[in-house]
Amino acid sequence: MATAVIDGISTQYDVIGSGPPLLMYAPGGFDATIEKWSTQGVYATLRPLQHLTREYSCIVFDRREAGHSGGRVERITWQHYVRQGIGLLDHLGIAKAHVMGGCMGCCSVAALAVANPDRILSLILFWPVGGARYRLNGHQRFMSHLAFAQANGLSAVVEAARGGKSFGADPRGGPWASVIRTDESFARDFVTLDPAQYALIIAGMARGLIDRDTAPGAEPEDMMRLSVPTMIVPGADASHATSAAHFLKECIPGSEYCDIPVADQTELVVMPRLMEFLRKVPTGV
Q: Quick one: what percent of the chain has pLDDT higher than 90?
A: 98
Domain residues of the chain, as ranges?
2-129+216-279, 133-209
Residue 111 confidence (pLDDT): 98
Between 82 and 164, name the one with better pLDDT.
82
Task: For the chain, count helices (H), then strands (E).
Answer: 13, 8
* 200-210: average pLDDT: 97
In DSSP terms, 24 is beta-bridged to 60, 100
Greatest CA separation for the chain: 56
**pLDDT tens column, 123-146:** 999 999 999 999 999 999 999 999
**pLDDT tens column, 255-265:** 999 999 999 99
Helices (H), the chain: 36-39, 41-46, 48-52, 78-92, 105-115, 132-152, 154-161, 177-182, 184-190, 195-209, 220-223, 242-251, 267-279
Q: Quick one: what percent of the chain has pLDDT higher than 70?
A: 99
* 239-261: average pLDDT: 97
**Above 80 in pLDDT, residue 27?**
yes
Residue 283 confidence (pLDDT): 77
> Residue 74 and residue 243: Cα distance in Å, rounded?
31
Given a contact cutoff of 8 angstroms between Cβ atoms, the answer to whether 21 and 59 are in contact is yes
Length of the chain: 285
Which CATH number applies to 2-129+216-279? Answer: 3.40.50.1820
C-alpha distance across the termini of the chain, in Å? 24
In DSSP terms, 59 is beta-bridged to 15, 23
**pLDDT tens column, 153-185:** 999 999 999 998 999 999 999 999 999 999 999
**Above 70 in pLDDT, residue 250?**
yes
User: Using 50, 70 and 90 to split pLDDT, how confident is the model at 284?
Assistant: low
**Above 60 in pLDDT, residue 20?**
yes
